Structure 1
Amino acid sequence: MTLNDNDRSIAAFAMLAHATVHWFELAIPIFLVVWLETFEISIAAAGVVVAAGYLLFGVGALPAGLLADRYGPKRLVLACLVGMSLSFATLALATSIYAIAVSLILWGITASVYHPAGLALISTGVEERGTVFAWHGIAGNLGIALGPFAAATLLLALDWRVVAVALAIPGALATLYGLRARFDPTAAVADDDGSATDGSSDALSAGEFVSNSRTLFAGPFLLVFAVVTVVGLYYRGVLTYLPELLNGLPALAVIEPPAALEELSLGDYFYVALLVAGMAGQYVAGKLTSRVSVARGLVVVFVGLAIIAVAFVPVSAMGIASILLYCTVLGFALFAIEPFYQEAVAVYTPPDGRGLSYGYTYLGMFGLGSLSIALGGFLLDHATMAALFATLAAIALLGAGIALKLLVGPAPGSESASTESTAAADD
């Protein structure tokens, strides 16, 4: 089916914002090398500064979800774009690593708003959710690839402070576009039961937050939250260390890059190929969400990720073509799971709590999921590469088990229907 005008308007706004979030997110590590030299600090100290921003990027998702339910997702997304752009622009004024830390913390806080607000907007405003989730994910991957590329390219000719301001310009342009965008944020649910939020609710007091959270986790969302956390553990665990592991493979060390690109290794190119393949994975999976139950899709992709993790060690000893094929398959599967878990949140939660639901979702994805970074570093330092990928395979199988329980459980909405029937009988 083709998208209607409202779907297209929401899709364009959300895709632009999503790409901008990841544009900033992946540009930060490029600046890290410059900051080490400029402020003469240790790698450990710089890592703590960067980690602070990334941590808040995940932790802030939960309160952001609450704000999305109260004030409406569009306002929150616009605030996110403004905040990220200003935070990056203030980097140019930094005179110490402490000032850098303040800017990155502000970026993390404002960036954390996007995922719960943007996904809530799609889930309540878009009729063809699967298709839009797919394009939305592809836009995020474009930001992931273009952000570091733009930062690295501009730093070849410009001072890093000028580059920081230059990178903030797309965020400002996205804000201007968003201010002009017109759409109905509740078009997909407004006719269901009148429970869709339009941002006018004054709920979400402390007591209602606890009550709404209990309601969410008393139902199938508990399993959805567990699934998303497992996705985060696998995602951070593999993507954090894969570039370093690829660059250390003997098969990739035999070919030197062109002189103009001597700072990059073949492993970096393969990593880019993985991200490009991820765009295809998101598109295909997004289309499948309208044809396959989300729980079934999650089981299949998790099993695939487990097999892919086990295959890394033997494939790493093969030739360049095999390794490139492996990266392509991994990227496709790793990002194919995103439309399925995003759709699962939309299927297994009520419309008026969608912002809260996505807040918890990205608390699990980016917050709890980041624990695998420490675990992966420990395994690589004190065990072997095989131990890391065996652990990732076990994590994926755990996800498959949780998704299987979701698959064989009650159909979406049956709990609410049962509750309503019981309440009617009591009346």
Structure 2
Amino acid sequence: MADDDNAIAGFTMLAHGMFHTYELSIPIFIVIWLDVFDVSAAVLGTVIGLGYGLIGIGAVPSGILADRYGSRTLIIASVVGMSGGFFLLSLAPNVYVLAIAIMIWGAAASVYHPAGLSLISRCANERGTVFAYHGVGGNVGTALGPLTAALLLVFLDWQWVVRLLALPAVPVVLFGSRIGFDDAVQPSSTDGGRESFDLQGVFAQSRLLFTTGFTLAFVVVMLYGTYYRGLLTFLPDMIAGLPRFEPVSVFGQTADPAQYIYTGLLMVGILGQYTGGRITDHVRTEYALLASLAVLAGLAFVFLPSSAVGVAPFLLVCALLGFTLYATAPIYQVVIAERADENVHGLSYGFTYLGMFGFGAAGAALAGTLLTYFDAPALLGVLGVIALVAAILVVVLLRRP
């Protein structure tokens, strides 16, 4: 890759890794918080959903800012805010402060994806490859963040674990402030430059964006986000409830196998994320997206039954689930880039992550509610149907120019 591509890939990989370190460490703490704060899964799912939802709500204004002022400063501010919000989380004495801390973290996290993805789509020469490396960076954070949390929890209280997870943001900010790449934003021919904010122009660009196949792609991403959040938020808790995976004692300390299965699933996602990004350089992205969603639907239906067959089949299903879940992300990111004009890539990714993390955050509340009033099979059945509906919409998208 060219020097600018290497710099952009390195910076966004690190920042993306921090985003997912925080985002997917939260489920590791859920089993503890259910006990410490004495709340139901429905309540805690709603609280966490508020924070995750802010990631989506803030994505649209973040995308607008990225289109007008560039991405570097926004990404650095996002990493600082996520670290600060996560540190505040460690001070929570009750579920109310927990909610405030998670919402502060979510507001800061909302800035990252529109800024980071628009930087890649606008400035990288080998866009698909940089998207793939970007995804790998995210999955390294996705895997190492929860794994680090799970290992530290064997020896430390959860508050200290959260504080330690906030520290790696410091070198990321220093690196991002010093590395060189061209992040210049070209003035849009439709707004006469970027010296002033034109709200009417934003509405006009949004209407134009949603008159294309982008609308269907947006709904598909929204459904995928619901599946993603609904599955991962309580996944360690669901695995811990299976007969074969109860907590065990290791050298006098209690270890939870469910946490390590969860982190292993996320680690497999590293390969899936890279593979998904590479596929988009060789295969029509809608076909790849259709295949991944169909597989996700099937895996949701066989997830729990596979645990009754044996440990090996269950772990295989977990590995396939992690691979496919994260292979889908770079695929839909390229679909969005192909369905939006270059001048509004930041806005398009803002709307995309409104769907992915904003509407998708309902998956956390949905999961908590179904687990509280029904059971895990009901949750996974609903998630499988959601993935099937998304796959059907991709078929419709294929018929549009």
- Does TM, scored on the shorter chain, surpass 0.5? yes
> Aligned runs of 1:112-261 on 2, under 5 Å?
112-154=110-152, 163-185=161-183, 201-202=194-195, 204-253=197-246, 257=248, 259-260=250-251
Contact 2:54 2:106 in 1 (8 A): yes
* Range with greater deviation from structure 2 (236-245 or 346-355): 236-245
Matched residue, 2:22: 24
Distance in 2 between residues matched to 1:308 and 1:164, nearest whole Å: 32
Match of residue 320, structure 2, among 310, 318, 329: 329
Distance in 2 between residues matched to 1:174 and 1:55, nearest whole Å: 25
Give the SS at the match of 1:409: coil
Contact 1:66 1:204 in 2 (8 A): no
Contact 1:86 1:168 in 2 (8 A): yes
1:362 matches 2:353: yes
Distance in 2 between residues matched to 1:280 and 1:257, nearest whole Å: 30
Give the SS at the match of 2:234: helix
Q: Which amino acid aligns with 1:12?
A: G
Contact 1:87 1:104 in 2 (8 A): yes
Distance change in 2, residues 1:289/1:195 (3 Å): farther
Contact 1:195 1:351 in 2 (8 A): no
Distance in 2 between residues matched to 1:156 and 1:287, nearest whole Å: 38
Shift of 1:354: 0.9
Distance change in 2, residues 1:399/1:179 (3 Å): same
Aligned pairs, number: 397
Give CA deviations for 1:282-327 in whole Å, capped at 9, x if unaligned: 1111111000111111111111112222222432320111001110
Shift of 1:337: 0.5
Contact 1:61 1:363 in 2 (8 A): yes
Distance in 1 between residues matched to 2:55 and 2:248, nearest whole Å: 35
Distance change in 2, residues 1:145/1:55 (3 Å): same
Contact 1:227 1:402 in 2 (8 A): yes
Distance change in 2, residues 1:303/1:33 (3 Å): closer
Distance in 1 between residues matched to 2:100 and 2:400, nearest whole Å: 46
Distance change in 2, residues 1:24/1:378 (3 Å): closer
Distance change in 2, residues 1:5/1:364 (3 Å): same
Structure with more relative contact order (C-alpha pairs < 8 Å, separation 6 or more):
2
Distance change in 2, residues 1:91/1:8 (3 Å): same
Matched residue, 1:42: 38
Q: Give me the TM-score of the superposition, normalised by structure 1.
A: 0.83
Distance in 1 between residues matched to 2:222 and 2:115, nearest whole Å: 19
Matched residue, 2:381: 390
Q: Which amino acid aligns with 1:72?
A: G
Q: Which amino acid aligns with 1:220?
A: G
- Which consecutive segments of 4 or more residues in structure 1 shift more than 6 A? 32-37, 92-97
Distance change in 2, residues 1:103/1:392 (3 Å): closer
Q: Which amino acid aligns with 2:313?
A: S
Give CA deviations for 1:32-84 in whole Å, capped at 9, x if unaligned: 677788xx743257666544433312221122111211221112101112222
Q: Which amino acid aligns with 1:60?
A: G
Q: Give me the TM-score of the superposition, normalised by structure 2.
A: 0.88
Contact 2:129 2:277 in 1 (8 A): yes
Contact 1:315 1:326 in 2 (8 A): yes
Distance in 1 between residues matched to 2:239 and 2:359, nearest whole Å: 26
Shift of 1:331: 0.9
Match of residue 286, structure 2, among 278, 295, 302: 295
Give CA deviations for 1:76-112 in whole Å, capped at 9, x if unaligned: 1011122223334455676776555544332221111
Shift of 1:262: 5.2
Q: Which amino acid aligns with 1:326?
A: V
Distance in 2 between residues matched to 1:374 and 1:88, nearest whole Å: 21
Matched residue, 2:256: 265
Give the SS at the match of 2:194: coil
Shift of 1:154: 4.5
Distance change in 2, residues 1:379/1:28 (3 Å): closer
Distance change in 2, residues 1:61/1:311 (3 Å): same
1:305 matches 2:301: no
Match of residue 364, structure 2, among 373, 381, 405: 373
Matched residue, 2:70: 72
Q: CA RMSD in A?
A: 2.9
Contact 2:150 2:260 in 1 (8 A): no
Q: Between the two proteins, what is the percent identity of the paired residues?
A: 45
Q: Which amino acid aligns with 1:373?
A: A
Q: Which amino acid aligns with 1:298?
A: L
* Range with greater deviation from structure 2 (240-249 or 61-70): 240-249
Distance change in 2, residues 1:196/1:396 (3 Å): farther
